[in-house]
Structure 1
Amino acid sequence: MPQFHLFPDAPRPVAPFSHAVEASGWVALTGQMPTDPAAPDAPLPDGIEAQTRRVMENLRLVLDGLGLDLGDVVQCRCYLTEFERDYACFNEVYAEFFPEDRRPARTTIGVTALAVGALVEIDCLAAPRS
């Protein structure tokens, strides 16, 4: 049976969803936005670098609620509203969060818009280490 998780320390959901769902040994994390968990109605950070850092920290909060970390992530999907402008800077920040020899599989997609006016959103799939 799937287990559905909402964590009080993670960002407030911006739509009707769970932070994560566990099923068959996998964990799917909902795409995180660059919102501040301590002040969910505060303005978003300025620029792709700051928003990417906030999204990655929000993913860490959800993973932490599961007893996991970024080392358990096997795949990420990344969404950018300004793909051509932001892709290189996004990659620089994203790379800071994963060791070079443990980077998850990844797809990055240019989109026309994201919730809350964000520049970036990232969802991921994790496989807890035994």
Structure 2
Amino acid sequence: MAADSKTFIFTPDAVPPLPAFSQAVVSGGRVYASGNIGCDKNFKIVEGGVQAQTRAALENLSIVLKASGSGLEHIVKANVYLVNMPVNFTLMNEIYLQFFDKDKMPARTCVGVIALPMGADVEIECVAEVAAQ
């Protein structure tokens, strides 16, 4: 695959990416979205704990996917990184489930981690299909 077959996504509507990565990359009919934490455009973690952060992360991910020609409904695989798994797993899932059709849930892995950037409680990344034109 040639290097020019990748499209690097940037949308000013979403939380800006740090200099070390892109919001997403489209290649081979798939969108590879970088991890999203629950923060605002000024990189301030939203208040309200893991549930508010999960909502903010998924809302930002949705914006990035839309800019990539996709959407949450086209996610094939999601990865969730969660601080304090015993406490936060059920709380995160309560919000996560609100964003997807219960009969069409993407494949998902949830990993407990020691820490996330900026003290976040949750980070979500995904691979999605580009929507049919």
User: TM-score when scaled to structure 1?
Assistant: 0.92
Instruction: Name the residue aligned to 2:124.
Output: 122
1:98 to partner: Cα distance: 0.2
String of CA shifts for 1:49-101, please: whole Å, max 9, x gaps. Answer: 11110001010110121232111111100000111110011111100000111
Instruction: Name the residue aligned to 1:54.
Output: 56
SS for the counterpart of 1:103 is: coil
Q: 1-side partners of 2:108 and 2:49: how far apart?
A: 22
Instruction: Name the residue aligned to 2:36.
Output: 32
Instruction: Name the residue aligned to 2:105.
Output: 103
What is the number of equivalent residue pairs in this alignment?
128
Where does structure 1 lack aligned partners over 5 or more consecutive residues?
A: none
Q: 1-side partners of 2:32 and 2:45: how far apart?
A: 27
Pair 1:35–1:49, CA change in 2 (3 A):
same
Instruction: Name the residue aligned to 1:68.
Output: 70
Q: % of aligned pairs identical? A: 38
8 Å CA contact retained: 2:36, 2:124:
yes
Q: 1-side partners of 2:36 and 2:7: how far apart?
A: 19
Instruction: Return the letter of the residue paired with 2:73.
Output: G
SS for the counterpart of 2:99 is: coil
Instruction: Return the letter of the residue paired with 2:74.
Output: D
2:15 aligned with 1:11:
yes
The runs of at least 4 consecutive aligned structure 1 residues that moved more than 3 Å come to none
Instruction: Return the letter of the residue paired with 1:51.
Output: Q
Where does structure 2 lack aligned partners over 5 or more consecutive residues?
A: none
User: TM-score when scaled to structure 2?
Assistant: 0.90
Aligned CA-pair RMSD: 1.3
1:41 to partner: Cα distance: 4.1
Q: 2-side partners of 1:67 and 1:22: how far apart?
A: 9
Instruction: Name the residue aligned to 1:93.
Output: 95
SS for the counterpart of 1:55 is: helix
